Amino acid sequence: MNVQTPSEKLVKPFDCQHYINGRYFPSEKGSTFDNINPATQEIIGSVAEGGKKEVDLAVAAARRALNGRWKNMTADERIRIIRKVGDIILERKDELARLETLDTGKPLSLSSTLDIPRAAFNFHFFADFMRGAGTEAYQTDDLAINYAIRRPVGVVGLINPWNLPLLLLTWKLAPCLAAGNTAVIKPAELTPMTATLLGEICHDAGMPDGVVNIVHGFGPDSAGAALSEHPDVDAISFTGETTTGKVIMEAASKTLKKLSFELGGKNPNIIFADADMDEAVSTSLKSSFVNQGEVCMSGSRIYVEREAYDEFLNKFVEKTKKLKVGDPFDPDTNIGALISSEHTERVMNYIELAKREGGNILTGGKRPEGQESGCFLEPTIITGLSRNSRLIKEEIFGPVVTVIPFDDEEEVIAQANDTHYGLSATLWTNDLRRAHRVAGQIESGMVWVNSWFLRDLRTPFGGMKQSGLGREGGIHSLEFFSELTNICIKL
């Protein structure tokens, strides 16, 4: 195999190779696929296409590191390296933000203020959190004492989506490493760049070879499938579509891997008439359209109490019309490009369906004029659809929201829960009792009251129903990424 050192890697165009055992590699057979900038549809580099062979090499490297240098370090040494990864991400934040924007089409104003700083914070947070984490101990009368010790799960596969590439990858990788595991990462095929650079960053932070490995490729019959069925992988943390989660679960069942899934959502955004309407409007603008609506927590089903329906809708439509769609590198841009032409087509199909179903498109519903060469779509607000419309039931994952009026609390709770998803919800009300009452009845892993995406990394993050399996964040991440052994000593 052709060996390249990490520093030789940064040539233009950006060609993404696998990072295995501390070195960059092409695929064994030299196979690659194109990486396309969704804002221009230009090829911005090639991506090595990995499969079983590359996953085997990466898993073997991760296993050696797990039982070798990573295990033999003190916890302090490991934590110092993990923190250093966060430091280097901050030092290189401009370069990383640029790559993230090239790869995803999201505005640079977002990648530079959210994706990349949060990626660094993930390492800093979990390094610190690990220092303070204890375990449990119980005394059984005067018969025995029990205490639990924590150890790594082993080699963990981290399979990632394209919407928040480095943010979500590091949200898994940082606690995975902090708990003493080693990792094989499968970045999304559409967004391989920042993950590739992370290899070099880990190397520069002093991470021993083999602790972090990155294999590029696709899902089915490719690197993703090879990782999820690999007999020497102990656990998989996956973020992506619910349908993909089901396939991974089946593959992982053969060796009963531990699983953590963060899947799709069709999240209700419920606005009661007593809410602060201006705040509800401006935050709903974010929960609807930030990151082009390509966010699993996006509040894509908006329910407004009838008394406030017209006021909300007028203000919401007016502000949405002012959002600027276009060049992700323009600092004034609010909405960049969607991830790919296939995905844009898929989102457009939902809009066509809404038209056929007699929905009213209050704004948007089309590609912006003069920008046909990129994957751009105007932010779209639709009313007048039936409760059973596919637009109300299915995750669109684009800048498209539906707005529906409601008359009472019970009715809106029933509508909010009428879905097989259960990731997040948002409530807008100034009635304290109602906020508590409704929040406790919404079937979702997270409920934001008078806010959205306000995150504290110690809190449980994840979904119920078909939106996920388990929770990550704070102690919940540590629980997933470690095994407990209870030691019982008879007195």
Nearest distance from C-beta of residue 221 to ligand ADP, angstroms: 8
> Of the candidates 102, 248, 297, 396, which one interacts with ligand ADP according to CB under 6 A?
248
> Of the candidates 49, 103, 115, 189, which one interacts with ligand ADP according to CB under 6 A?
189
Gap between the Cα atoms of 413 and 439, Å rounded: 9
Residue 237 burial (CB count, 10 A)? 26
Gap between the Cα atoms of 89 and 205, Å rounded: 10
Nearest distance from C-beta of residue 93 to ligand ADP, angstroms: 24
262 is annotated as an active-site residue: yes
> Per rule CB under 6 A, is residue 159 in the interface with ligand ADP?
yes
Pattern 322-341, ligand ADP, x by CB under 6 A: --------------------
Q: Where are the alpha helices (DSSP H) in 322-368?
A: 341-356
> Per rule CB under 6 A, is residue 160 in the interface with ligand ADP?
yes
Pattern 202-241, ligand ADP, x by CB under 6 A: ----------------xxx---xx--x-----------xx
Gap between the Cα atoms of 185 and 54, Å rounded: 12
Comparing CB distances to ligand ADP, the nearer of 218 and 448 is: 218
Gap between the Cα atoms of 453 and 435, Å rounded: 17
Residue at 263: amino acid letter: L
> Of the candidates 44, 133, 145, 247, which one interacts with ligand ADP according to CB under 6 A?
247
Q: Which of 262, 294, 305, 395 is catalytic?
A: 262
Question: Sign of dihedral through CA atoms 327, 330, 336, 337?
Answer: positive
Nearest distance from C-beta of residue 264 to ligand ADP, angstroms: 9
Looking at residue 6, the DSSP 8-state letter turns out to be G
Stretch that binds ligand ADP, among 159-167, 383-391, 419-427, 432-440 (CB under 6 A): 159-167
> Per rule CB under 6 A, is residue 261 in the interface with ligand ADP?
no
Comparing CB distances to ligand ADP, the nearer of 104 and 112 is: 104
Q: Where are the alpha helices (DSSP H) in 179-276?
A: 193-204, 223-228, 242-252
> Of the candidates 114, 176, 178, 188, which one interacts with ligand ADP according to CB under 6 A?
188
Phi-psi group of 270: left, alpha or beta (phi > 0 → left; psi -120 to 50 → alpha; rest → beta): beta
Query: Half-sphere exposure (CA, 13 Å, Cβ side) for 83?
Result: 11
> Of the candidates 92, 98, 106, 186, which one interacts with ligand ADP according to CB under 6 A?
186
Comparing CB distances to ligand ADP, the nearer of 189 and 378 is: 189
Contact call for residues 191 and 119 (beta carbons, < 8 A):
no
Stretch that binds ligand ADP, among 125-133, 242-250, 267-275, 317-325 (CB under 6 A): 242-250
Phi, psi of 216 (to 5 degrees): -85, 160
What end-to-end distance do the CA atoms of the chain give, in Å? Answer: 58
> Per rule CB under 6 A, is residue 301 in the interface with ligand ADP?
no
Contact call for residues 202 and 85 (beta carbons, < 8 A):
yes
| Site size with ligand ADP, rule: CB under 6 A | 18
Residue 430 burial (CB count, 10 A)? 12
* Footprint on this chain of ligand ADP (rule: CB under 6 A): 159-162, 186, 188-189, 218-220, 224-225, 228, 240-241, 244, 247-248
Catalytic residue positions? 262
